[in-house]
């Protein structure tokens, strides 16, 4: 299995997390090291793969298997193979990146790769989603779900303060009844359903 | 004859009012999803996995199959009217379809595509009826080593054939295999990668992985790069075809499925390659070659028929061997696992009602789709104007519903988000998502079959290659793995000969 570069460097959409395709080139000698790293931010993926490999191997090594062994292959073998594979792939990918290989960012119907990544939106969405995860217990699904939809639509740039909450509430209640009554998948009603 | 009888029984299952309803819901949802930008059929089926908790398997799979075919139908509408194919299968439809729509022949393009899908789906499903029981009966005696070999083939094919970079495909597969390791070891009950957490001891539910990678990852990725100015769809009337157009399209409709079906059945990337091959074929055979690139109707009809036929081909390997060749098939396999059903050669014996009901419902779904799509095309086109914030907020919303329905625990939502962020990173750095999903779904099963095979052979590695079936599969695997090397070797040999000839002419002259 040899490494192969997918793309000639530079043709792979935005080159850095902040879309530094242009800035990396103009940074000059002053920010040389940073620009170099930014251009090769994919090395972070290699580090993560490597760390994951170490994690899997450590977990396999610390397993207490004497009692559990059944058959010629115990529960440790496959984790060993996967862990070693992760280390190897992390290293090979690093070589590929240093040689100029770049993963091609995925396109799509609504994806505009020419614009720099909008981290604010991603962070907002992550926050809204986590908030919904926390609130679903105390507030119940209908309210937490509506907040999730409204919050996500807001984060994505919708500013219709009259229409958005109504759609959110309608969608959330509709889903609640479909799942709870029609499909028989229980969702927590929360205090709101207690009142109704 | 035997399969004909089974098929008639299948129609008995598919035509019950409830199952007809699921088929109708499936094709409607599928078409809507295919039309909507940003949602592919794999994400749609993943988002609907939670219905498996409340629905009987037959109804659920009838719906999923409707979504699969429906999304293919709908995807071409987006390609033709908006020229932004989100799915690889619909790329070719945009090449000729969009110029047709711009030139005022959108209605004809939509009709050629819709009937093409109908023809492709019909022919493909007939081939499925003929071939699937044969493949299943051939594979009926296969055991642990054979299953393991098939899964190795799935792993290798999905990392090597698809995508631009092998190393990134393998990285993605390993991430999936690692997620699959989390939980109790199925054979010994040993905890793996659980870090003492009771919640993780149950493993990460496949629904959460599929929804996280396909839905959350995609929504976050699009959110980071949301196109602020969405293209305007070209307005279109009711699809129809004149006599001259019919004369040009009927042959491509019949040729497309012949190309599409075999490519769907093998792990070669689903509809991407056959649609392109069909396009090239039609271009070569056409009397109107000068029109290609400017809106040749053959270039819409053939590839669209190939796309739907490849979906049928995908079902052959999924149902008979449990081998998923596309993302949708992988997610459907996950649905089978939810029900505790193992797709494979025994499926036709153990679950005849389910399998034949599903196959019969494909015919029903095709008719429903044609009946819906020709008259409703202008309505579907309106879906293209949905505000993007609502679309992606909706995806996040339903993803949360799906993950929460798994066990009613908030922690699952956090895991879902983490996997979604992994999916985001994978899209950013060009790691394909499909190998990871296949790794999660097939990884644990592959490990079990491997250990079972080695248990039978008492630890001897020969136990993995002691059947003709497994040896054949491994030969294919080796061919796939070494193909780039062979290609390079051939190129080098050619180059050598060329330089040798050159030097000869130099020395001789």
Query: For every residue of B196-235, which 3-state class applies, written as one string?
Result: CCHHHHCCCCHHHHHHHHHHHHHHHHHHHCECCCCCCCCC
Per residue in B164-220, pLDDT (tens digit) is 688 888 999 999 999 999 988 877 778 888 887 778 888 888 888 888 888 898 889
Statement to judge: residues A94 and A125 lie in one domain: no
Q: Is residue A107 part of a domain?
A: no
Q: Which of A175-184, B138-147, B439-448 ranks highest by mean pLDDT?
A: B439-448
CA A176 distance to own-chain centroid: 27
A182 against B477, higher pLDDT: B477
| Per-residue confidence (pLDDT) for residue A83, from 0 to 100 | 92
Per residue in B13-56, pLDDT (tens digit) is 888 888 888 888 888 888 888 888 767 778 888 888 877 777 88
| Per-residue confidence (pLDDT) for residue B176, from 0 to 100 | 92
Q: Are A58 and B153 in contact (CB under 8 A)?
A: no
Whether the CB of B483 is below 8 Å from some CB of chain A: the reply is: no
Q: Is residue A180 part of a domain?
A: yes
| Per-residue confidence (pLDDT) for residue A16, from 0 to 100 | 39
| Per-residue confidence (pLDDT) for residue B177, from 0 to 100 | 93
pLDDT tops 70 at residue A36:
yes
| Per-residue confidence (pLDDT) for residue B496, from 0 to 100 | 66
Short-list B459, B475, B448, B437, CA closest to B147: B448
Statement to judge: residues A149 and A190 lie in one domain: yes
pLDDT tops 80 at residue B230:
no
pLDDT tops 60 at residue B234:
yes
Domain count, chain A: 2
pLDDT tops 60 at residue B367:
yes
| Per-residue confidence (pLDDT) for residue B2, from 0 to 100 | 74
Mean pLDDT, range B70-76, rounded to an integer: 82
Rounded to 5°, the CA angle B288-B293-B299 comes to 65
Flag the least confident range among B1-5, B308-312, B371-375, B473-477: B1-5
Interface test with A, best of B172, B218, B223 (most A CBs within 10 A): B223
Q: Is residue A87 part of a domain?
A: yes
Q: Is residue A9 part of a domain?
A: no
Mean pLDDT, range A60-74, rounded to an integer: 69
Statement to judge: residues A132 and A74 lie in one domain: no
Give the chain B residue whose CA is nearest to the CA of A5: B165
Short-list A125, A37, B453, B163, CA closest to A117: A125
Statement to judge: residues A27 and A69 lie in one domain: yes
Collect all residues of chain A within an 8 Å Cβ-Cβ radius of residue B174: 49, 82, 85-86, 89
Give the chain A residue whose CA is nearest to the CA of B445: A78
| Per-residue confidence (pLDDT) for residue A29, from 0 to 100 | 52
What distance in Å separates residue A62's CA from the closest CA in chain B? 10
What distance in Å separates residue A145's CA from the closest CA in chain B? 7
| Per-residue confidence (pLDDT) for residue A68, from 0 to 100 | 52
CA dihedral A134, A137, A138, A143 (to 10 degrees): 80
Collect all residues of chain A within an 8 Å Cβ-Cβ radius of residue B166: 1, 4
Q: Using DSSP, how many helices (H) and how many strands (E) does chain A show? A: 8, 0
Q: Which of B348-357, B376-385, B493-502 ranks highest by mean pLDDT?
A: B348-357
pLDDT band at B73 (very low <50, low <70, confident <90, very high): confident
pLDDT tops 70 at residue B256:
yes
Per residue in A164-175, pLDDT (tens digit) is 889 898 988 888
pLDDT tops 50 at residue B411:
yes
Statement to judge: residues A134 and A188 lie in one domain: yes
Q: What is the ipTM, given to two decimal places?
A: 0.80
Q: Is residue A1 part of a domain?
A: no
Q: Residue ranges of the domains in chain B?
A: 2-466, 470-509
Statement to judge: residues A85 and A134 lie in one domain: no
pLDDT tops 90 at residue B380:
no
What whole-number percentage of chain B has pLDDT above 70? 93
Q: Is residue A13 part of a domain?
A: no
Collect all residues of chain A within an 8 Å Cβ-Cβ radius of residue B203: none
Per residue in A144-169, pLDDT (tens digit) is 889 999 999 998 888 888 888 898 98
pLDDT tops 80 at residue B225:
yes
Short-list B176, B115, B472, B475, CA closest to B324: B176
| Per-residue confidence (pLDDT) for residue B345, from 0 to 100 | 80
Q: What rounded mean pLDDT belongs to chain B? A: 82
| Per-residue confidence (pLDDT) for residue A84, from 0 to 100 | 93
Q: Is residue A8 part of a domain?
A: no
CA dihedral A171, A172, A178, A179 (to 10 degrees): 140
pLDDT band at A196 (very low <50, low <70, confident <90, very high): low
Question: Which two structure tokens, joined as six digits, stand for B176?
Answer: 């999936």
Q: Do B85 and A129 touch (CB under 8 A)?
A: no
Burial category of B35 from C-beta neighbours within 10 Å (exposed 0-12, middle 13-18, buried 19 and up): buried
Q: d(Cα B159, Cα B434) in Å, to the nearest integer?
A: 9
pLDDT tops 50 at residue B409:
yes
Interface test with A, best of B144, B213, B215, B396 (most A CBs within 10 A): B396
Q: Are B360 and B20 in contact (CB under 8 A)?
A: no
Per residue in B432-452, pLDDT (tens digit) is 888 898 898 888 888 988 888
Give the chain A residue whose CA is nearest to the CA of B405: A185
| Per-residue confidence (pLDDT) for residue B499, from 0 to 100 | 59
Positive or negative torsion for Cα B364, B263, B347, B5: positive
Q: Is residue A90 part of a domain?
A: yes
Whether the CB of A100 is below 8 Å from some CB of chain B: the reply is: no
Whether the CB of A61 is below 8 Å from some CB of chain B: the reply is: no
From the list B171, B396, B454, the residue facing A73 with the nearest CB is B454
Flag the least confident range among A19-33, A97-111, A178-192, B366-380: A19-33
Mean pLDDT, range A136-147, rounded to an integer: 87
Mean pLDDT, range B153-160, rounded to an integer: 83
Which residues 18-37 of A have a C-beta within 8 angstroms of B? none
Q: Are B112 and B414 in contact (CB under 8 A)?
A: no
| Per-residue confidence (pLDDT) for residue A69, from 0 to 100 | 57
B309 to each of B79, B122, B171, how far by Cα in Å? 19, 8, 31
Statement to judge: residues A126 and A82 lie in one domain: no
What distance in Å separates residue A32's CA from the closest CA in chain B? 22
Positive or negative torsion for Cα B497, B499, B503, B509: positive
What distance in Å separates residue A23's CA from the closest CA in chain B? 18
pLDDT tops 80 at residue B3:
no
What domain range includes position A123?
Answer: 119-195
| Per-residue confidence (pLDDT) for residue B508, from 0 to 100 | 44
Buried b (16+ CB within 10 A) or exposed e, B358-395: bbbbbbbbbebbbebbbeebeebbebbebbbbbbbbbb
């Amino acid at each position: 299995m040899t490494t192969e570069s997918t793309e000639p460097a530079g043709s792979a959409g935005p080159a850095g997390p902040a879309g530094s395709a242009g800035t990396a080139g103009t940074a000059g000698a002053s920010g040389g090291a940073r620009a170099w790293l930014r251009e090769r931010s994919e090395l972070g993926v290699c580090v993560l793969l490597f760390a994951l490999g170490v994690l899997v191997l450590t977990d396999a090594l610390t397993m207490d298997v004497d009692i559990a062994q059944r058959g010629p292959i115990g529960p440790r073998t496959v984790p060993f193979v996967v862990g070693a594979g992760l280390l190897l792939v992390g290293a090979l990918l690093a070589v590929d990146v240093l040689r100029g290989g770049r993963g091609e960012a995925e396109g799509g119907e609504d994806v505009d790769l020419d614009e720099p990544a909008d981290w604010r939106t991603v962070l907002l969405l992550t926050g809204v989603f986590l908030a919904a995860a926390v609130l679903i217990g105390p507030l119940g699904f209908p309210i937490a779900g509506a907040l999730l939809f409204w919050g996500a639509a807001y984060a994505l740039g919708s500013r219709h303060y009259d229409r958005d909450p109504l759609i959110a509430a309608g969608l959330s209640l509709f889903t609640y009844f479909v799942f709870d009554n029609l499909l028989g998948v229980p969702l927590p009603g929360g205090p709101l359903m207690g009142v109704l | 004859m035997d399969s004909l009888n089974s098929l008639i029984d299948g129609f008995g299952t598919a035509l019950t009012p409830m199952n007809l309803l699921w088929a109708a819901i499936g094709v409607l949802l599928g078409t809507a999803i295919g039309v909507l930008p940003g949602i592919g059929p794999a994400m749609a089926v993943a988002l609907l996995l939670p219905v498996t908790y409340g629905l009987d398997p037959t109804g659920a799979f009838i719906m999923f199959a409707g979504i699969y075919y429906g999304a293919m139908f709908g995807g071409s509408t987006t390609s033709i009217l908006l020229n932004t194919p989100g799915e690889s299968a619909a790329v070719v439809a945009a090449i000729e379809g969009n110029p047709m729509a711009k030139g005022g022949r959108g209605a004809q393009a939509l009709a050629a595509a819709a009937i093409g899908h109908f023809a492709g789906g019909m022919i493909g499903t007939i081939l499925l009826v003929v071939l699937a029981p044969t493949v299943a009966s051939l594979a009926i005696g296969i055991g642990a080593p054979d299953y393991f070999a098939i899964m190795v083939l799935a792993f290798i094919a999905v990392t090597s054939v698809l995508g631009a970079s092998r190393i990134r495909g393998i990285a993605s597969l390993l991430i999936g295999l690692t997620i699959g390791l989390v939980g109790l070891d199925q054979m010994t009950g040993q905890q793996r990668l659980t870090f003492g957490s009771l919640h993780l001891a149950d493993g990460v539910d496949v629904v959460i992985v599929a929804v996280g990678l396909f839905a959350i990852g995609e929504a976050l990725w699009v959110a980071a790069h949301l196109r602020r100015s969405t293209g305007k769809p070209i307005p279109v009337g009711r699809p129809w075809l004149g006599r001259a157009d019919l004369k040009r399209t009927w042959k491509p409709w019949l040729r497309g499925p012949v190309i599409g079906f075999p490519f769907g059945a093998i792990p070669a990337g689903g509809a991407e390659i056959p649609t392109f091959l069909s396009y090239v074929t039609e271009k070569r055979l056409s009397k109107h070659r000068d029109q290609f690139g400017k809106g040749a109707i053959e270039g819409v009809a053939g590839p669209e028929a190939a796309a739907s036929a490849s979906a049928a081909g995908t079902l052959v390997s999924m149902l008979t061997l449990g081998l998923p060749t596309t993302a949708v098939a992988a997610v459907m396999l996950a649905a089978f696992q939810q029900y505790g059903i193992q797709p494979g050669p025994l499926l036709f014996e153990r679950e005849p009602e389910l399998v034949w009901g599903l196959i019969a419902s494909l015919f029903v779904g095709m008719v429903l789709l044609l009946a819906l799509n020709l008259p409703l095309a202008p309505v579907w086109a309106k879906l293209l104007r949905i505000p993007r914030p609502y679309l992606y907020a909706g995806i996040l919303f339903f993803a949360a519903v799906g993950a929460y329905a798994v066990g009613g625990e908030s922690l699952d939502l956090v895991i879902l988000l983490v996997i979604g962020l992994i999916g985001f990173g994978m899209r950013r750095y060009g790691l394909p998502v499909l190998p990871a999903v296949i790794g999660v779904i097939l990884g644990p099963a592959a490990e079990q079959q491997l250990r079972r095979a080695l248990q039978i052979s008492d630890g001897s590695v020969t136990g993995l290659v002691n059947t003709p079936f497994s040896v054949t599969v491994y030969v294919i695997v080796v061919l796939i793995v070494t193909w780039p090397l062979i290609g390079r070797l051939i190129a080098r040999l050619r180059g050598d000969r060329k330089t040798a000839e050159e030097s000869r002419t130099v020395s001789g002259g």
